[in-house]
Structure 1
């Protein structure tokens, strides 16, 4: 996942950009503040479902420097794309990115999270182009040292410096060691300790080029505990963890329950940045009976808003990231956090009971991060896994030929599979090389799941299920 370095240091136009950007709680009710901008008026009840308030965003205070951070943070891993002019892939739709960022800032969002590897290496440049059009004091930018496959000091330093150029900033507000835990403590030491990069970044923080230093976590409890134990030497300013109402206790998409991760940060007074509040979108696309259950409780609220309220309610949460590709998603999340209505104890238990029900359905914990891509054999891994999950949620996974809905479900699964994944990119082409597994932050055994799905497809085709 090496980042492609660019020579140019000058901002580029959208036309030039399109030519080159080819991409193939137990919780505690917080003391809430609203209106992240100075002078923003406080709000009472939540806005009507059709309104998107501009001055009611709930904010949290960074205990290190007192800066106000919007509770809704913008994750820049899923920017909208357009077909490339040459028909050989996609390019980032810079006009759409500009519009989304403009709207987010106008409605109180000030935290933007990116990485050198997001959108196959182009998210930082696109995000930088959009943010550069706003005064620097209007936004906080977060990015990462994503040196996944080349741990040398030279490569790591080049990646760090390139981030400043692509984002067009002279300081980074929140800088992260990216996805620690994958590969165990030995890999963590190779990426950040043995090459001297952690000491270098601590020095950069002292010099003011990094305002806050932290890490994002996907891994085992042993790695989390060891890295967190460095707090006395490093003084971690924040930690980014996966937290949602399923992972709180079940850890379906993580190796460690979120309840443990958050609790350890809370003990030390370290602010938490939340990723995957929707568990890779699965908590906004729940099975029909789960959606009905949530809508009956709060008919005026979206299914996704339950997950965002859960993620935002703990008081040590500084911001909750959401990768909002579409304006309607951004608007829905703005309503949820403008202002946040924290969960009651009864609502928390309701969500825990909901999580228990969801765990009865065997979806695959793929978050569509695309870290597993590209596959050397051309398989569209995320598309295969997400199609399977979609069919599970919609009840289109046939159980057996005796099922009254077997024919309709069989047709829906097979036709949808061919439409969403070209045949040359389907699971049948997996040879089990395992190259994808080390890159998966959810620790999915990808070849095993692809073999399982392929066998299931063959049974459906032959009518032997």
Structure 2
């Protein structure tokens, strides 16, 4: 094993993030010391029972069903008080623990964590034998489609990740912009698809695929290019709510999975927790899940759903905290597949979930940094948390109006610094073009700000 460990002070001199990232955990807006409920939280974490998936089309690859999404690495405050920095010591600890407990798939991108994820991931993984893990990253050329910029991004990934080959390489977030026109601009007309095909032939890319956020017609058209490009895998959003009840621009997971199944293309799953919303559920839904499997966490139901279909290669989770990593390892060590009865139970649960008017933010942070320093994900996630907890008072006649009003306002100030709250939005719309969920972000920020002002002005 290479000894490339550096201490936190040295790393802070190298890596910085100019804009602060939200400290909300993936499992909702829970603070770090909030443990997953259920008696399994104190049980030993298995080191040798991880479920692995392999497919003839992927050769000898044997991939852990739990994949590590590197878009939410932990951060610490910058010494100069201007934003946060990646906590490299914490990243190293999480990566070491994951590998020791059977996780071998790590997914990153040049744009994750304000552009610093690849470097942090590369530092952590380079301390382990290269053959002990599968490394995935993406061509995230969202705004600059030129061949020169795309090639530079591709080559920089190798340098940042300290590797001479990539196991899984993705065309990032297909379906945005103007659909197929944008796809052609980003990858075809500039010659990048031809280049990437040759890179795969040369072995510098082992598997080539794409991640999807868009409309069904774009999905169908890109999937139809399988005969020409031979997609090795496709990454889709899939969870037990989106399976049949996708909202906005998202396509039902059932349709996406079944289309891949027709072509026998392995699926990589993103957003199994729907941006944390399926672990931070309303109280009565939590009780419903706990009654059926008292020892399991609420989140484990979502991961079991994501991992049960046979064509799923791995399910990604952006685990910021050790307790979340441990809980997910337990869920997949080994996986207990859903029964038909379980699937019916989760469909009923999904129908209950969609009654809550949450904003479909998955905390991807593609909208960041905001030019006016608004912490967009933190604002939206606080609102969603209050919706789930019943702390969005609609009328002064509500029985719990006083308590809900105080919980929303106090929680807002604690979750989001005042200078980064929604009232600083000027409606520039810069964030909208980057949102894979097609949220009208300025509209939601203005709505939340108006709601906050209304609560502040009312006297009791």
The two structures have a TM-score, normalised by structure 2, of 0.92
1:49 CA drift (Å): 6.2
Which residue matches 1:374? 369
1:354 partnered with 2:353: no
Task: Tell me whether 1:393 sits opposite 2:382 in the alignment.
Answer: no
1:49–1:335 Cα contact (<8 Å) kept: no
- Residue 273 of structure 2 is matched in structure 1 by 278
> 2:84 maps to which residue?
90
Any stretches of 5+ residues in structure 1 without a counterpart?
1-10, 25-46
Once the two structures are superposed, residues 108-134 of structure 1 have per-residue CA deviations (whole angstroms, 9 ceiling, x without a partner) of 110000001111111111111111111
Q: 1:66 Cα shift?
A: 2.7
Structure 2 CA distance, aligned partners of 1:365 and 1:373?
A: 16
What is the total number of aligned residue pairs between the two structures? 433
How much has 1:253 moved relative to structure 2?
6.7
Q: Secondary structure at the match of 2:68?
A: strand
Aligned Cα RMSD in Å?
1.5
How far the C-alpha of 1:423 sits from its partner, in A, is 2.3
On the 8 A contact 2:240/2:302 being kept in 1, the answer is yes
Q: How does 1:312-461 map onto structure 2 within 5 Å?
A: 312-461=307-456
Which one of the candidate residues 46, 53, 57 is aligned to 2:46? 53
Query: Which string of whole-angstrom CA distances, capped at 9 and with x for unpartnered residues, describes residues 318-339 of structure 1?
Result: 0000011111101100000000
Q: Pick from 150, 157, 160 the counterpart of residue 144 of structure 2.
A: 150
CA contact (8 A) 1:171 1:210 kept: yes
Bigger mean CA offset, 82-91 vs 345-354: 82-91
- Name the TM-score, length of structure 1 as normaliser: 0.91
**Residue-by-residue CA offset, 1:267-310 (whole Å, 9 max, x unaligned):** 00000000000000010100111101100110000000000000
Alignment of 1:168-247 (within 5 A): 168-183=162-177, 184-247=179-242
Q: Please state whether the residue corresponding to 2:398 is helix, strand or coil.
A: coil
SS of alignment partner, residue 76 of structure 2: strand
Alignment of 1:90-109 (within 5 A): 90-109=84-103
Alpha-carbon separation, structure 2, partners of 1:12 and 1:433: 42
Moved over 6 A (4+): none
- On the 8 A contact 2:5/2:127 being kept in 1, the answer is no
Would you say 1:127 and 2:140 are equivalent positions? no
Q: Deviations over 1:357-383 (max 9, x none)?
A: 011110001011110111122221111
Distance in 1 (alpha carbons) for counterparts of 2:389 and 2:64: 34
CA distance in 2, matches of 1:319, 1:138: 16
User: Which has the higher relative contact order, 1 or 2, with Cα contacts under 8 A spaced 6 or more apart?
Assistant: 2
| Structure 2 residue matching 1:96: 3-state secondary structure | helix
Tell me, what secondary structure is at the counterpart of 1:248? helix
Task: Work out the CA distance in 2 between the residues paired with 1:62 and 1:169.
Answer: 25
* Structure 2 gap ranges (5+): 20-39
Pick one of 245, 252, 258 that aligns with 1:257: 252
Closer/same/farther in 2, CA of residues 66 and 209 from structure 1, 3 Å limit = same
- Give, in angstroms, the shift of residue 179 of structure 1: 0.5
The partner residue of 1:63 within 56, 59, 68 is 56
